[in-house]
A and B are shown apart, each in its own frame.
Chain A
């Protein structure tokens, strides 16, 4: 207590120094006076009395100093004085300081921003009671092409078996993939989109969550398929949609034909288990139509493991249950070969820690965000090296000041403190600026990775985690660029410096060596950034320039749903009516748009052969669809309006190549094999040019287009949705969007447009990640290049300044300008060349870890390796010009006279 009290008092005294000084002076004067009085009384002469009094006090000023040390913390006071001094030093070199602060701010802001994203997406624990005990169950499965793949989807009956088996060791929860669906609180025409998750009834209790209003779902809400039309909404949705109105309880909404009632609101921070998506509505798993199906893997399985339970025995128990389930299921497959079945059944269950939840957004962006984080970290290092160089150069101009300080008694430690404080001020100012930058840029980056129709919502709180990161970063940055210059400044030899020796350092070349080392690091990092950025840009270009095989020109895509399932012919009638809307050139129907991440595939059999191991892909299209998509028909004919040929099909070139050995398939026939033994027979009426089907990254898939009218035979037809493809006459197809949105229900009231996009938008959404990486990586490589160039310029300039006497003498004895230029630039060019090589080498090495982010890009190509090296060389050459000119223009007479 007493020590705390005195600490506070001493801190407070820092601000009352003048009053304290006055009082101390008065007190000591009175002491002396009293002593003198006594001495006089003893009969001393006044002069002697005064002398003795001062003597016994041990000197007035010395005593004052000693008392002052007790009044305040002397080190804190010197810190305060150094801070003021450091600030003045920085203010003196305004432009250099501002450049340093801005470059550091940009880099550290980018780092903080990257941290915020990585933290929000990958690190931050879910707001539940024991996130560290939460695991996601997934399986390693072997893909069609023999590749091992991680798969975290589960069928509900399988889940039930595992849940019951694990009962004593872990709570198993089924939580569906976040689904963006249409629902309405009023009529069909007032549909709105929400994010919905089907969750196990015990999820809220298992997560330790409390209701903010009403009640949460319980196990009783999750017992009978289709019998529990209740819903809990998230606090976020309650606020956004209902303005926290308590009357929200009891409101009903409709999804399809199911009427749900809102029974409660979950507490604020919990918005589902999928970082990147905020779930609005939670409904029981039993309300999912897929809950009873063994062949639909529609939800994730989470496990909350009891404390003290070993994972491995639990894992192997669940693994064997899941295998037994799949084996049982495979008995009904008749169209698969034994090898196929063995491949499908070969799956290994594993527990993956899921304290921060699990989402596709996480999986898609994990590696790219980490790559970006490393890039911005490199930029930060480059910026630090720049500032360190600046400080080393400045230290040389301050050598005399430092020498003087040492001579009059400043300790090395004090000099160290003096320079470090200056660095700390710099770091602090730039971190503060960077924080503002990060505050703005993190949401900006999230918007960049967003598909336009399904906005990613990521909680990006600026809390203690971000604050701690910021502080750690500031400290690290201070050390990175401050410690070396500080150590050098304090290792000064005063005699040398004051004599006017080169700069007072023990070894006059060591400072330049240090600057060269920093430059080398900078150039290497910069080349690494440039190289990786080049790979990202090339990947994006490759992907964007992929021929899709169809045209996106003026093409609008209307995802449309009907209230009840209707016959395909009704869709064709609606298409007819849309053709009469002014501004519409062509209208076709397909059950999905191309490249919309949707696929429908099955094995194919030609002439009764065994099921193919390569799958065929299918799409139902209306007559004229090929022309609307501008996919040329190579041979044969398009479908007719009322296609009469039973099972007509148009196939693409790849289909002909894979299943007919490249022969003309028109007139031939094939069977589509469904998993449960049914088969459909098709006769090929036409062959169309290859077009991309599902994903722009994969090779063209063997695709068969089938008449739209036959779509009703498909098991998924009840989904009651299809897609209109509208080619408009106007250049901007979206201009017609609202007209068409109204035109659909006007002609057929049971229909409703659920989503309007352009085909271009759909194509671009395939490359969102690549665009994002290419854009940000280009930006940061520009910043890196700029910083490195500034660094090169500074070092060259400094070295010319340092060697001006030598240059002057050389010039005076007749050296050529070219030899001077060589003298000045050669060492720096050698450094640049060596470290650029090292940087590119590091890039080659690191590109292996990033391989999955690249597409058709070979990092060893000359076209990838050369540009970074050339860019670096060019900026080195440009940066060298001013210094070289200055060196050549040195006037020996003036310079040597002035020295």
Chain B
């Protein structure tokens, strides 16, 4: 197994938004675990960077938070997607797909002139 990769700068926000879209309201720890699981444990989320990212998204109005209780009865702060966040997710996801598609085409092209 190759060593785990760190989450690229800038993609963490997108992953958070996607996670919240698919799972609904979730606390920070849950989000982190989910990202790791979805990546097939290939990515390791630095939990320390998760919280500034969450705060930034909240300040930008893409997510909102409130205190709740976890499954095993722990008090935790739950984040959920706002309407603006949903739109942002669509936008970012589209952008990301396009970028990766371009990059993929670029990398798969054979050297034709040399």
Chain A residues with a Cβ under 8 A of chain B: 2-3, 5-6, 9-10, 23-24, 26-28, 30-31, 33-35, 37-38, 56-59, 62-63, 66-67, 69-71
**Which B residues are in CB contact (< 8 Å) with A70?**
52, 55-56, 59
**Which A residues are in CB contact (< 8 Å) with B47?**
31, 56-58, 63
Q: Are B70 and A34 neighbours in the complex by a CB distance under 8 Å? A: yes
Q: Are B48 and A57 neighbours in the complex by a CB distance under 8 Å? A: yes
> How close is B59's CB to chain A, nearest CB, in angstroms?
4
Which residues in chain B, 43-72, are within 8 Å of chain A measured between CB atoms? 46-49, 51-52, 55-56, 59-61, 70, 72
Tell me whether A31 and B52 are in contact in the complex, defined as CB-CB below 8 angstroms, given that A5-B61, A56-B47 are known contacts: no
Q: Are A67 and B61 neighbours in the complex by a CB distance under 8 Å? A: no
**Which A residues are in CB contact (< 8 Å) with B28?**
27, 31
B16-24, B74-82, B90-98, B105-113: which one contacts chain A?
A: B74-82
Which single member of B49, B59, B70 contacts A9 (CB below 8 Å)? B59
Query: Is the interface on chain B under 10, 10 to 19, 20 to 34, or 35 or more residues?
Result: 20 to 34
- CB of B34 within 8 Å of the partner chain: no
With a 10 A CB-CB cut-off, give which of A3, A26, A27, A58 has the most chain B CB atoms. A27
Q: Are B60 and A6 neighbours in the complex by a CB distance under 8 Å? A: yes
Which single member of A2, A26, A37, A62 contacts B48 (CB below 8 Å)? A62
**Which B residues are in CB contact (< 8 Å) with A5?**
59-61
> How close is B45's CB to chain A, nearest CB, in angstroms?
9
Please measure, in the bound complex, the distance between the C-alpha atom of A31 and the C-alpha atom of B47, giving whole angstroms.
Answer: 9
Q: Are B51 and A66 neighbours in the complex by a CB distance under 8 Å? A: yes
Tell me whether A2 and B60 are in contact in the complex, defined as CB-CB below 8 angstroms, given that A63-B47, A67-B51 are known contacts: yes
> How close is B7's CB to chain A, nearest CB, in angstroms?
13
* Chain A residue with Cβ nearest B73: A37
Tell me whether A37 and B52 are in contact in the complex, defined as CB-CB below 8 angstroms, given that A6-B59, A56-B47, A63-B47 are known contacts: no
A/B interface sample: 28 pairs, CB < 8 A? A2-B61, A5-B61, A6-B59, A9-B59, A24-B51, A26-B75, A27-B28, A28-B51, A30-B29, A30-B75, A30-B76, A31-B29, A33-B74, A34-B27, A34-B70, A34-B76, A37-B72, A38-B33, A57-B47, A58-B47, A58-B48, A58-B49, A59-B48, A63-B47, A63-B48, A66-B49, A67-B55, A70-B59
Please measure, in the bound complex, the distance between the C-alpha atom of A63 and the C-alpha atom of B46, giving whole angstroms.
Answer: 10
Q: Are A67 and B59 neighbours in the complex by a CB distance under 8 Å? A: no
**Which B residues are in CB contact (< 8 Å) with A66?**
48-49, 51-52
**Which A residues are in CB contact (< 8 Å) with B52?**
66-67, 69-70
Please measure, in the bound complex, the distance between the C-alpha atom of A71 and the C-alpha atom of B27, giving whole angstroms.
Answer: 18
Q: Are A30 and B74 neighbours in the complex by a CB distance under 8 Å? A: yes
**Which A residues are in CB contact (< 8 Å) with B72?**
34, 37
**Which A residues are in CB contact (< 8 Å) with B55?**
67, 70-71
Which single member of B27, B48, B61 contacts A30 (CB below 8 Å)? B27
- New A-B pairs, 9, CB < 8 Å, besides A57-B47, A67-B51: A6-B59, A23-B77, A27-B28, A30-B75, A33-B74, A34-B70, A37-B74, A58-B49, A69-B52
Q: Are B59 and A34 neighbours in the complex by a CB distance under 8 Å? A: no
Which single member of A23, A34, A58 contacts B46 (CB below 8 Å)? A58
> How close is A442's CB to chain B, nearest CB, in angstroms?
47
> How close is A760's CB to chain B, nearest CB, in angstroms?
75
**Which A residues are in CB contact (< 8 Å) with B77?**
23, 26-27, 30
> How close is A525's CB to chain B, nearest CB, in angstroms?
52
* Chain B residue with Cβ nearest A10: B59
Please measure, in the bound complex, the distance between the C-alpha atom of A6 and the C-alpha atom of B60, giving whole angstroms.
Answer: 6
Please measure, in the bound complex, the distance between the C-alpha atom of A66 and the C-alpha atom of B52, giving whole angstroms.
Answer: 6
**Which A residues are in CB contact (< 8 Å) with B29?**
30-31, 34-35
If over half of A's interface residues share one DSSP class (helix, strand or loop), that class is named, otherwise mixed; here it is: helix
Closest 9 CB pairs of A and B: A58-B48, A6-B59, A70-B52, A63-B48, A34-B29, A2-B60, A57-B47, A30-B76, A27-B77
Q: Are A31 and B75 neighbours in the complex by a CB distance under 8 Å? A: no
**Which B residues are in CB contact (< 8 Å) with A28?**
51
Please measure, in the bound complex, the distance between the C-alpha atom of A67 and the C-alpha atom of B55, giving whole angstroms.
Answer: 7
**Which A residues are in CB contact (< 8 Å) with B27?**
30-31, 34
Please measure, in the bound complex, the distance between the C-alpha atom of A28 and the C-alpha atom of B72, giving whole angstroms.
Answer: 17
Please measure, in the bound complex, the distance between the C-alpha atom of A167 and the C-alpha atom of B72, giving whole angstroms.
Answer: 93
Tell me whether A63 and B56 are in contact in the complex, defined as CB-CB below 8 angstroms, given that A30-B77, A31-B29, A34-B76 are known contacts: no
* Chain A residue with Cβ nearest B47: A57
> How close is B35's CB to chain A, nearest CB, in angstroms?
13
Please measure, in the bound complex, the distance between the C-alpha atom of A24 and the C-alpha atom of B58, giving whole angstroms.
Answer: 14
Which single member of A2, A9, A27, A37 contacts B51 (CB below 8 Å)? A27
**Which B residues are in CB contact (< 8 Å) with A38?**
33
**Which B residues are in CB contact (< 8 Å) with A63?**
47-48, 51
* Chain A residue with Cβ nearest B76: A30
Please measure, in the bound complex, the distance between the C-alpha atom of A5 and the C-alpha atom of B60, giving whole angstroms.
Answer: 7
**Which A residues are in CB contact (< 8 Å) with B30?**
34
**Which B residues are in CB contact (< 8 Å) with A34?**
27, 29-30, 70, 72, 74, 76
Please measure, in the bound complex, the distance between the C-alpha atom of A30 and the C-alpha atom of B27, giving whole angstroms.
Answer: 9
Please measure, in the bound complex, the distance between the C-alpha atom of A66 and the C-alpha atom of B51, giving whole angstroms.
Answer: 8
With a 10 A CB-CB cut-off, give which of A24, A26, A30, A62 has the most chain B CB atoms. A30
Please measure, in the bound complex, the distance between the C-alpha atom of A71 and the C-alpha atom of B51, giving whole angstroms.
Answer: 11
> How close is A150's CB to chain B, nearest CB, in angstroms?
65
With a 10 A CB-CB cut-off, give which of B52, B56, B61 has the most chain A CB atoms. B52
> How close is B60's CB to chain A, nearest CB, in angstroms?
4
* Chain B residue with Cβ nearest A7: B59
**Which A residues are in CB contact (< 8 Å) with B46?**
58
| Proximity bits, B23-42, A CB within 8 Å = 1, else 0 | 00001111001000000000
With a 10 A CB-CB cut-off, give which of B29, B33, B72 has the most chain A CB atoms. B29
**Which B residues are in CB contact (< 8 Å) with A2?**
60-61
**Which A residues are in CB contact (< 8 Å) with B74?**
30, 33-34, 37
> How close is A22's CB to chain B, nearest CB, in angstroms?
12
> How close is B83's CB to chain A, nearest CB, in angstroms?
13
Q: Are A6 and B51 neighbours in the complex by a CB distance under 8 Å? A: no
* Chain B residue with Cβ nearest A29: B75
* Chain A residue with Cβ nearest B88: A2
Please measure, in the bound complex, the distance between the C-alpha atom of A762 and the C-alpha atom of B52, giving whole angstroms.
Answer: 79
* Chain A residue with Cβ nearest B53: A70
With a 10 A CB-CB cut-off, give which of B46, B55, B56, B74 has the most chain A CB atoms. B55
Please measure, in the bound complex, the distance between the C-alpha atom of A24 and the C-alpha atom of B72, giving whole angstroms.
Answer: 21
Please measure, in the bound complex, the distance between the C-alpha atom of A594 and the C-alpha atom of B6, giving whole angstroms.
Answer: 98
Please measure, in the bound complex, the distance between the C-alpha atom of A439 and the C-alpha atom of B102, giving whole angstroms.
Answer: 67
> How close is B28's CB to chain A, nearest CB, in angstroms?
5
Please measure, in the bound complex, the distance between the C-alpha atom of A6 and the C-alpha atom of B49, giving whole angstroms.
Answer: 18
Q: Are A6 and B76 neighbours in the complex by a CB distance under 8 Å? A: no
**Which A residues are in CB contact (< 8 Å) with B56?**
6, 70
* Chain A residue with Cβ nearest B84: A2
* Chain B residue with Cβ nearest A54: B47
Please measure, in the bound complex, the distance between the C-alpha atom of A10 and the C-alpha atom of B28, giving whole angstroms.
Answer: 21
Please measure, in the bound complex, the distance between the C-alpha atom of A28 and the C-alpha atom of B55, giving whole angstroms.
Answer: 13
> How close is A732's CB to chain B, nearest CB, in angstroms?
77
> How close is A635's CB to chain B, nearest CB, in angstroms?
101
> How close is B111's CB to chain A, nearest CB, in angstroms?
43
**Which B residues are in CB contact (< 8 Å) with A35?**
29
**Which A residues are in CB contact (< 8 Å) with B48?**
57-59, 62-63, 66
Please measure, in the bound complex, the distance between the C-alpha atom of A70 and the C-alpha atom of B58, giving whole angstroms.
Answer: 11
> How close is A38's CB to chain B, nearest CB, in angstroms?
8
**Which A residues are in CB contact (< 8 Å) with B70?**
30, 34
Please measure, in the bound complex, the distance between the C-alpha atom of A406 and the C-alpha atom of B28, giving whole angstroms.
Answer: 38
**Which B residues are in CB contact (< 8 Å) with A59?**
48
Please measure, in the bound complex, the distance between the C-alpha atom of A790 and the C-alpha atom of B30, giving whole angstroms.
Answer: 69
* Chain B residue with Cβ nearest A38: B33
Please measure, in the bound complex, the distance between the C-alpha atom of A232 and the C-alpha atom of B70, giving whole angstroms.
Answer: 82
* Chain B residue with Cβ nearest A69: B52
Please measure, in the bound complex, the distance between the C-alpha atom of A831 and the C-alpha atom of B28, giving whole angstroms.
Answer: 69
* Chain B residue with Cβ nearest A32: B29
Please measure, in the bound complex, the distance between the C-alpha atom of A34 and the C-alpha atom of B51, giving whole angstroms.
Answer: 15
Please measure, in the bound complex, the distance between the C-alpha atom of A56 and the C-alpha atom of B4, giving whole angstroms.
Answer: 13
> How close is A275's CB to chain B, nearest CB, in angstroms?
53
**Which A residues are in CB contact (< 8 Å) with B60?**
2-3, 5-6
**Which B residues are in CB contact (< 8 Å) with A9?**
59
Please measure, in the bound complex, the distance between the C-alpha atom of A62 and the C-alpha atom of B77, giving whole angstroms.
Answer: 20
With a 10 A CB-CB cut-off, give which of B28, B48, B60, B75 has the most chain A CB atoms. B48
